[in-house]
Amino acid sequence: MSLLAGLLGGCASSFPPAPMAAADADYNYVIGAGDSVNIVVWRNPELSMSVPVRPDGKITTPLVEDLPALGKDATTLARDIEKELSKFIREPVVTVIVTGFVGPYSEQIRVVGEAGKPQILPYQQKMTLLDVMIAVGGITEFADGNGATILRTGEGNKQYSVRIKDLIKRGDVSANVEMRPGDVLIIPQSWF
């Protein structure tokens, strides 16, 4: 009996629990390949348009070709466009609005293993584990939900244990933790 208890004890997660709140008060969304950006040039509607961010991270608009957008926030990109347009028009005023969100690869949330629909999700500020589980359709019947871990790439690949089963099957809101950009949620298969 003690051997069985020892083996079961060895199956428990050896990672600390994930912190409830993540410190992201200063988070600014950065543009990623696949995003769509709406560019508005005041008093120049012919230069205003919506453009996709190409896989190489650049955008092209009238008068501005191959401008890097990847990793910039909307305000920085607007100032860069203004700088380029100032070669052709006097005192351009540009606003950039991100309308289609994918985000840079380094900020996407990855869900692997025994999720209903394992996938990559764009990070959103204040996104929680519950938000992620709703987006991926919960866990499969074979999942070890309370054996799941978050690999936090933004903290040097630290791993934290999370209790998905307690959260979604038992309604334990204390198991709901905030996600961070670049997190990888790993949901293992239950062995019994």
Q: Are the C-beta atoms of residues 177 and 19 closer than 8 Å to each other?
A: yes
Question: d(Cα 182, Cα 123) in Å, to the nearest integer?
Answer: 8
Report the CATH number that the domain containing residue 183 is assigned in CATH: 3.10.560.10
Q: Looking at the domain assignment, is residue 139 inside a domain?
A: yes
183 and 109 share one domain: yes
Q: Based on the fold, state whether residues 23 and 118 are members of the same structural domain.
A: yes
Total count of domains within the chain: 2
Establish if 61 belongs to a structural domain.
yes
The one-letter code for the residue type at 98 is V
Closest by CA position to 189, among listed 145, 147, 143: 143
- pLDDT tens, residue by residue, 84-116: 999 999 999 999 999 988 889 889 999 999 999
Rounded to whole angstroms, the Cα distance separating 150 from 153 reads: 9
CATH code, domain with 48 = 3.30.1950.10
Whether residues 42 and 57 fall in one domain: yes
**Nearest to residue 122, comparing CAs of 132, 113, 112?**
132
Residue type, 191: W
* Same-domain pairing of 59 and 146: no
| Tokens 């949620």 sit on residue | 185
Residue 4 domain flag: no
Claim to verify: residue 23 and residue 109 sit in the same structural domain: yes
User: Tens digit of pLDDT for each residue in 135-151?
Assistant: 999 999 999 999 999 99
Give the domain extent around 151: 16-27+105-187
Strand ranges across the sheet with 94-100: 49-52, 36-41, 94-100
Do 43 and 57 lie in one domain? The reply is: yes
CA-to-CA dists, residue 34 to 16, 31, 102, angstroms: 35, 9, 6
- Give me the residue label for tokens 């305000």: 75
Is 52 part of any domain?
yes
**How far from 89 is each of 42, 58, 86, CA to CA, in Å?**
11, 22, 5
Q: Are residues 78 and 165 in the same domain?
A: no
State whether 111 and 23 are in the same domain: yes
Angstrom distances, CA of residue 37 to CA of 47, 53, 119, 185 = 13, 7, 24, 29
Task: Spell out the per-residue pLDDT of the chain, length 192, in tens.
Answer: 333 233 333 444 578 888 777 555 677 899 999 999 999 999 999 999 999 999 999 999 999 999 999 999 999 999 999 999 999 999 999 999 999 888 898 899 999 999 999 999 999 989 999 999 999 999 999 999 999 999 999 899 999 999 999 999 999 999 999 999 999 999 999 986
